[in-house]
Chains A and B, each alone.
Chain A
């Protein structure tokens, strides 16, 4: 922070991108700033504040749920749309982030801009097949959330591009979902493990399954073997054993694997 020479507070995306791409400024975009304000790299000389940009709306668009990247955790927690979508899992996840004072400041865009083990939203967005709209120097770019952190994208959100909105596809609206944060206390920033489960059933058959896991590594991951077991109609104990094995393989350790598979079994029994 001590190397900061300029403070930019644009009111349009065009202006913000102009500052970001101008080499004179050496700018970094910040929204809530809760993750990075204390740890800005020394090379950054301009604090690009996104708070005045029109990127905070939470709306329905072509049947999809669209969340502006500047929406705070508190706004998402209180949003009627988010509370009704996919059993309210997005709002529930927002409510489990740290404390109310952090939720007032932190935004969904900031939470997904860089991979971090304890970020709440990546594990949920991965499970909901979300897409992300970015603004780059070449124009708007729509990508799958799971590709956001891949080096092949060649983009560094906040440094050479801006996250504009997150799109949750219409197909997920009625999904039965659960988000679980296993942590020392409700308001802990750190968590032992974060879990997203989702399923749809027709008759006795599971027709859709998603299991994603966070907090074990900076990037969340899906559990494909567990999803296959769900779709194959495995009984809850058998599918939970598959999940425990997948977590062990991901070096989750005995406690996390055992606790997470028990929580997964509870979810399966509830659907």
Chain B
């Protein structure tokens, strides 16, 4: 797990982008209920690293982020695109420790699973 910023740095209902040590870009979102989600920052439709700037909300109760480019919705829980079942975002582990937001690189997620 890698520390990226203070929890308070993320405003409720928005996301931030983080650059992991291996060069991976992760989008981390804080929802209004203070829950955190982390997915790949790469918009798979447009191939641009912009997901952290999307709007969050819910679709039928499922927490989602909407691509800021072409507005496809992705589940924050599974990364699955709700508008195109062939596409999904990578999902990352995220936690808060001592007020710091920490994100797990992919290998660690798989190892712990």
Q: Is B a genuine binding partner of A?
A: no
